[in-house]
Structure 1
Amino acid sequence: MRLFYSLMWWLALPLVLGRLWWRGRREPGYRSHLGERLGFYGPAPGPDRQLRRTIMVHAVSVGETRAAEPLVEALLRAWPDCRILLTHMTPTGRATGKALFSKHGERVIQSFLPYDTGFMVGRFLRHFAPSVCILMETEVWPNLIAGCAAHSVPVALVNARLSERSLRRGKRFGGLMMEAARGITLAAAQTEADAARIASLGAPRVAVTGSIKFDVVPPEAALQTGAMLRARFARRPVLLCASTREGEEALILDAYRALAHQPPGMLLLLVPRHPQRFDEVAQMVRERGLSLARRSALPEGSNGEVDSDVLLGDSMGEMFAYYAACDCAFIGGSLLPLGGQNLIEACAVGKPVLVGKHTFNFLQATEEAVAAGAALRVPDAGALMSEAARLLGDEAARARMSEQALAFAGRHRGATVRTVELLRQFIR
């Protein structure tokens, strides 16, 4: 099966590279470092007597990179003689990693992970020679795992999650995914349910550590930016729709327009998950006759109020600032059957949270947040706007949900410490 899988990769490679070049029209980062995606690199990282080992952490995109922050920081503290090799698949993930970890200088280096063929993976492993390969969340790559076994590199899948939907998809590939699962030295799962599903694929050792995302601390600079934005909103009630996906923005904008701006002055802060869609969403706003401001066009400082109907959050790395600036937050990807995005960051800032019906990517965390009174579930965009309007008009209800959100986030911290303890046996 893995031989057939590799053959499919080689046959698809011209299309994959063509799509990469096509996406590069809007996001030039997709056309950068192309050699890395094919397993070609410059000079190997120079020898450093103080950095005796390389720990690889693979975080595919922005969400995984931000989730990896507490783990990377903990690894750097626990092993002062290590270098972190942070790998990605998207340029936005790479940019996020640079913003988070450039302060560590040569102790954190970055690269794109090559496409999952034995040839490319082999060149990657020989070039960087990692002591351990740490994969974040759902990143199971059969040839990478097989290559690590051939080079005696242990593989740890941490902050691991696997939905029922993904499990069914994985079982369709039968032997391929089960071989990959058996090659994972250790899986540190977010929940008992995730652990059971991962074990059912054949992973030999699975532990439950909780979600590292609860250990992410809102950066002080982001909170200050949020306070600056909040000042520019004056006393307007603000609904943040965070990490929205394709198809959701139209539903949200139609429901917002139908609400007739109740409560008065309500500002819709709309932040699409994918930056290549910023202009498309801006056009949707204009087509509905709503006034628009863009975060990227706001002058620096706190002068000048935002008086538009919609503020488009078209900046990178400011999600914590947006959470800090809003009064309540809707978590995107959940109005349509896309699985939902992470609600933990909103809870960590103490914001009341609204989610749609489709949260299978973060099911347990969402269910627990709803049960704790930190989040409310809504069936559709109309109900989202009605519930948001109710909360924005009820300060006492928002305060109660805010307290519950902070308590919920606090109760689940500690996954990073548990994960590092499990990794100690591989990083000696």
Structure 2
Amino acid sequence: MDQLKAVRRNARGALALHVWAALGTCLAPLLPFYLRRRQMRGKEIPARVREKMGFPSLPRPSGSLLWFHAASVGEVLSILPLVQACLRQGPDVTVLVTTGTVTASTIVAQRFAHSRVVHQFVPLDVPHWCQRFLDNWTPQVAVFTESELWPTLLSACHTRDLPVVLVNGRMSASSFQVWRHIPGVARHMLSCFAWVSARSQVDAQRLRTLGATTQTDPGDLKTAAPPLPAQVAEMAHLQALIGARPVFVAASTHAGEEAQIAQAAHLARQTCPTLLTIVVPRHPERGAEVASLLNAAPRRALDALPTAQDAFWVCDTLGELGLFFRLATCVFVGNSLPGCHGGGHNPFEPARLGCAMATGPLIHNFEEAFQALHGCVQHVRDARSMAAWVEQMVTHPKRRAELGQLAQQVATVNEALPDDLAEKILALV
């Protein structure tokens, strides 16, 4: 009876995969219009939009090629130490990094400035677009990151006997419930992986339940990444400009949060009158909008610097969080307050630099990371509680330093993980 049920589940899974592939084929003639619309909204690079249809814009390097796919900025940053470890251990390999977003491609250009690393945008999950991509790049190993499970692309890899692995595998509670309703599809996709490295024990158990039977020991790559970089000369310049002013950094903020942050800063300045609040919107294109909300605050994207009279500075640039975290007295991790979409952002980035941190309650995308940092991160609900926390951090430097040191210890616990995973990846070449 159990065997019959398994056969039926697999049959339903195969049917669902065929339907998905057929849907992609049917929609393919319309998708260029969708990409054109995204291009008009600044979400695609005009000269490179055909990459999303599988057309290469660069020649394939000779020799062995490792393909890493990381959907967006957070995933790109998480694989940085792993890519570096693979390049170090495999001196003859080249790395192809694919992403889905323009902002992620910018981070790749900034952080992977290496002659043996090339970037392309990943093709949409259309059968002949995926085939075109694989025909051109012919990688020896494919490395997917976190929750990037695209049925057609994975099936195309599997059909070619291309070894595929999943690193920092993530399966949220909501995604787990969705996949449990289509177990045949989930089992088929996970069977494509040579092995899975889950982010946490919870993720490992969920992935195992869905069919990932070959797993390595769990470990979060975000706790193995190097500290975010900062230009030494620019840091010295800004430290001299800011002087002894306490600095509150609101990092990776989203629409719906900045008004609350402004109110919190106003309240905190009643106790800390020289407080400078640096607001770093997650999406730099919102810089003008955020600056307007903050009474025409100076914008870094326009090369404007804060004066002694400015309470706010909008830093609407990419790749400079390492600089701002080093300037910070305390840091609020955005996309977490009621009123925004929510989900949180990676708290290990400020933690790795010894920052005292706070977050709002909406942190479901980084639940395990915040659990690991339990006791190091203050949870705030609104502007008033945020202001009280800022005041405490400014006026109690010893407590602030203790929290930062504790967070730093947690955020650097998996330093050996990239080398261990790199060895397993290169063994598949």
* TM-score w.r.t. length of structure 2: 0.89
* Of 52, 64, 68, the match for 1:37: 52
* Of 42, 67, 70, the match for 1:56: 67
* Of 299, 303, 322, the match for 1:298: 303
Going from structure 1 to structure 2, the CA distance change for 1:11 and 1:172 (only over 3 Å counts) comes to farther
- 1:21 aligns with 36
The answer (yes or no) to whether the contact 1:340–1:360 under 8 Å persists in 2 is yes
Q: Secondary structure at the match of 1:388?
A: helix
Tell me the CA shift for residue 125 of structure 1. 0.7
Q: Residues 162-173 of structure 1: matches in 2 within 5 Å?
A: 162-173=171-182
Higher mean displacement: 376-385 or 264-273: 376-385
- The aligned amino acid for 2:71 is V
Question: Cα deviation per residue 1:350-383 (whole Å; 9 max; x = unaligned)?
Answer: 1101112122222222112123xx3222233321
Higher mean displacement: 33-42 or 410-419: 410-419
- 2:264 aligns with 255
Question: Cα deviation per residue 1:87-119 (whole Å; 9 max; x = unaligned)?
Answer: 1111111121111222x22x1111111001111
- The aligned amino acid for 1:343 is P
The answer (yes or no) to whether the contact 1:132–1:154 under 8 Å persists in 2 is yes
Going from structure 1 to structure 2, the CA distance change for 1:229 and 1:117 (only over 3 Å counts) comes to same
The answer (yes or no) to whether the contact 1:293–1:306 under 8 Å persists in 2 is no
How well do the aligned residues superpose, as a CA RMSD in angstroms?
Answer: 2.3
- The aligned amino acid for 2:300 is R
* Of 417, 423, 426, the match for 2:425: 423
* Of 181, 196, 210, the match for 1:201: 210
Higher mean displacement: 375-384 or 169-178: 169-178
Does 2:370 match 1:366? yes
In structure 2, how many angstroms separate the alpha carbons of the residues matched to 1:45 and 1:383? 53
Tell me the CA shift for residue 142 of structure 1. 0.8
The answer (yes or no) to whether the contact 1:251–1:381 under 8 Å persists in 2 is yes
Tell me the CA shift for residue 407 of structure 1. 2.0
Tell me the CA shift for residue 140 of structure 1. 1.0
Does 2:252 match 1:243? yes
* Of 17, 21, 43, the match for 1:2: 17
Structure 1 unaligned runs (5+)? Answer: none
* Aligned length in residues: 412
* Of 381, 386, 389, the match for 2:388: 386
The answer (yes or no) to whether the contact 2:48–2:57 under 8 Å persists in 1 is no
Tell me the CA shift for residue 143 of structure 1. 0.8
Q: Secondary structure at the match of 1:269?
A: strand
Going from structure 1 to structure 2, the CA distance change for 1:307 and 1:32 (only over 3 Å counts) comes to farther
Question: Cα deviation per residue 1:25-70 (whole Å; 9 max; x = unaligned)?
Answer: 45374433111101122574253xxxx2110001112221122111
Question: Cα deviation per residue 1:168-188 (whole Å; 9 max; x = unaligned)?
Answer: 233344433332122222111
Question: Cα deviation per residue 1:204-224 (whole Å; 9 max; x = unaligned)?
Answer: 312234111222223554455
Q: Secondary structure at the match of 1:208?
A: coil
Does 2:184 match 1:182? no
* Of 229, 237, 246, the match for 1:228: 237
In structure 2, how many angstroms separate the alpha carbons of the residues matched to 1:12 and 1:306? 56
Higher mean displacement: 200-209 or 53-62: 200-209
Going from structure 1 to structure 2, the CA distance change for 1:278 and 1:54 (only over 3 Å counts) comes to same
* TM-score w.r.t. length of structure 1: 0.89
Going from structure 1 to structure 2, the CA distance change for 1:19 and 1:82 (only over 3 Å counts) comes to same
- 2:351 aligns with 347
- The aligned amino acid for 2:105 is R
